[in-house]
Amino acid sequence: MSAPTPAPSGPAAGPSADHDTVVAALADDGCAVVPDLLGPDEVARATAALEEVFASEADVAGERGWRTDAYRVAYALPAKDPTFLDLCTHSGLGGLADAVLGPDCVVAGFNGQTMVPGGTGQRLHRDHPVPTPGTTLFLHLVCALDAFTPSNGATRVVPGTHREPPADDADLAALEDRAVVLAAPAGAAVAFDATLVHAAGANATGAPRRALHVFFARPWVQPHWDLLGSLAPEVAADLTADQRRRLGGATGPRRFDRATRTVLRPR
């Protein structure tokens, strides 16, 4: 089994991305480091916006489990700052997701996380417990806002586990000797099939290790979040057609309208 492509020599992504290389790495290893998905200005804006969200939720983060000994997390970011709503239609993120999942894929979740300085790491886990070998249903893009290093909590992955059977916590813990640390520069993304076994490492430094966690999904699977329904009404009313589509506005089951005896489809 080949190891995932490390940064900075990994497959490039963006408007002229070699998406075939990324797709091949995801099929083989379940993961790839994709440099330069976000430019320096985009990283700076996203970092500032994430810090503002963290500050606005500081009074409730502890009691709601959003701040732990390992990490601080903020959920449903597109509903909290327009910077993140704009990133839902980002050409680099969306183009890569389209190549993996198809052009009708949707944003299924969008969170921000920092590994707490001096904190503990995560246990190995899967975002989705049942692998679907040969067909990726969920693509997880962990976009580095700070450089990921072995000492500050870089993502650890167990290559190939997206093709292995479901496992309980004890079996997952036994995979530690196969885990690979994926260093990545700011602006890069660690892309992986959401059934791949992975974890964020411990941040042994005194600085934050911030990232955006953007999930894309095929339109016929259940997303993590109803992001469209989480938006303020005035924001939802002003969405572009592309934003509405990316947030799942064109997906969902049909309904039967009894009054008109017609079938209503999402649009």
> The tokens of 204 are what?
């042994």
Rounded CA separation 124/85 (Å)? 30
Task: Tell me the per-residue pLDDT of 113-124, one tens digit each, with 9 for 90 and over.
Answer: 999 999 999 999
Residues 6+ apart with CB under 8 A from 64: none
Task: Tell me the per-residue pLDDT of 216-251, one tens digit each, with 9 for 90 and over.
Answer: 999 999 999 999 999 999 999 999 999 999 999 988
Task: Tell me the per-residue pLDDT of 134-150, one tens digit each, with 9 for 90 and over.
Answer: 999 999 999 999 999 99
Residue 47's pLDDT is 99
Contact 123, 168 (CB under 8 A): no
Burial of 24 per CB tally in 10 Å (0-12, 13-18, 19+): middle
pLDDT band at 173 (very low <50, low <70, confident <90, very high): very high
What is the percent of the chain with per-residue pLDDT over 90, rounded to a whole number?
Answer: 87
Farthest-apart Cα atoms in the chain, separation: 63
Q: What CATH superfamily classification does 19-264 receive?
A: q2cbj1_9rhob like domain (2.60.120.620)
Name the one residue in this structure whose structure tokens are 């075939």: 20
Task: Tell me the per-residue pLDDT of 65-109, one tens digit each, with 9 for 90 and over.
Answer: 999 999 999 999 999 999 999 999 999 999 999 999 999 999 999
pTM of the model: 0.90
Domain extents in the chain: 19-264
